[in-house]
Structure 1
Amino acid sequence: MQYHLNEGSFSLYSSDWLDNSMNVLRDDSNGVTLIVSRGPVPEDSDFEKEFHRQWDTMRSQMTHLQQSEFSRISVGAQQQIRAVQVTSQFERNGQALYQHQLAVPVAKNATLMVLTYSALRPFTEEDAVRWEALKKTLTLHSTGQDA
């Protein structure tokens, strides 16, 4: 398997590798973090069920949770990518968190990729514009192995 990163690529020996990687991008000047996480979707599930399962697991770690409905949407320049979106605010370890999350299937539905746009403050109108731009500009590689 050839694994690609922004910095380069490398070959891995033949095996059943699963990409459970995470990228954390920080915009310190605007107080925003974007986290891109990936993980396998079990054979008896799909990306949407797996996203809900992960949310069910995390709920016990959140207090004062307020969240939107989970919405099925289409993203990408041509609205060609299926996705599920949710917005939330909650406290974790006494810290208020505000999040937009987008879950998309990658690599023929075998991988769940979640984009989390997060701040330690309420979102602004500028954040809303940036979140919409991120969703509109999302493209997926056919292999699903680029990080």
Structure 2
Amino acid sequence: MNYTFNEGQIALFPGQWVDASTHILRDADSGLSVVITRGPVPEDSDFEKEFHRQWDGMRPQMTSLQQGEFTRVSVGPDNLTRGVEVESHFARNGVDLWQKQLAVPVTDKPQMLLFTFSALRPFSEQDEQHWSQLKASITFTPTEQDA
């Protein structure tokens, strides 16, 4: 398997490789972070169930959790990509965090992407606009079978 990343590519020995990488992007000006993670979706599940399952595992690690409802949304330039979104505020290791998360299925793969938008302060109106723009910009690279 060849694995490509921003700076290059590596060849991996044969195996059952699953891309579970995480990308962390930080804006020094605003203090905002965007974290993109990916993970497998088991055959007997779907991305929405997996998102809830992940939250079930994370809740015990958080204190003072305030969480909104999980909301089904449509994202992407044409609003054709299904997603599930949730907003939360909590403390972790003594640090207050505000975050918005969006889970979306990866086209034609048993995999999901999770976009986390976070700050060490409450979100501003401008932050809300940035989050909306991020969601509207989500596009997937066509697979070889699509080309």
TM (norm. structure 1) is: 0.91
Cα contact 1:100–1:117 (8 A) shared by 2? yes
The CA deviation at 1:15 is: 2.5
Q: Where do residues 1-147 of structure 1 align in structure 2 (5 Å cutoff)? A: 1-143=1-143
Q: CA deviation at 1:5?
A: 1.6
Identity of aligned residues (%): 53
Q: Report if the CA contact (8 A) 1:46-1:109 is conserved.
A: no
Please give the secondary structure, in 2, of the residue aligned with 1:135. helix
Paired with 1:32 and 1:8, the residues of 2 have a C-alpha distance of 27
Cα displacement string for residues 25-78 of structure 1 (whole angstroms, at most 9, x for unaligned residues): 111210111110111111111110000000000000111111111011110001
Paired with 1:83 and 1:112, the residues of 2 have a C-alpha distance of 10
Q: CA deviation at 1:109?
A: 4.5
Measured on the aligned residues, the alpha-carbon RMSD in Å equals 1.3
Distance 1:133 1:35 in 2: 15
**Structure 2 unaligned regions, length at least 5:** none
Change (3 A) 1:107 1:16: farther
CA distance in 2, matches of 1:141, 1:72: 23
TM-score, length-scaled by structure 2 = 0.91
Runs of 4+ in 1 over 4 A off after TM superposition: none
Question: 1:107: how far off?
Answer: 4.3
Report the alpha carbon displacement of residue 93 of structure 1 after superposing the two structures with TM: 1.4
Q: Which runs of 5+ in 1 are unaligned?
A: none
Number of equivalences: 143
Cα distance in 2 for residues equivalent to 1:135 and 1:4:
24
- Counterpart Cα distance in 2 of 1:51 and 1:88: 14
Kept in 2, the 8 Å contact 1:3–1:12? The answer is yes
Contact 1:22 1:37 in 2 (8 A): yes
Task: State the SS of the aligned residue for 1:132.
Answer: helix
Aligned partners of 1:88 and 1:122: how far apart in 2? 10
Alpha carbons 1:47, 1:109 under 8 Å: kept = no
Provide the secondary structure at the position in 1 that maps to 2:72.
strand
Range moving further from structure 2, 57-66 or 4-13: 4-13
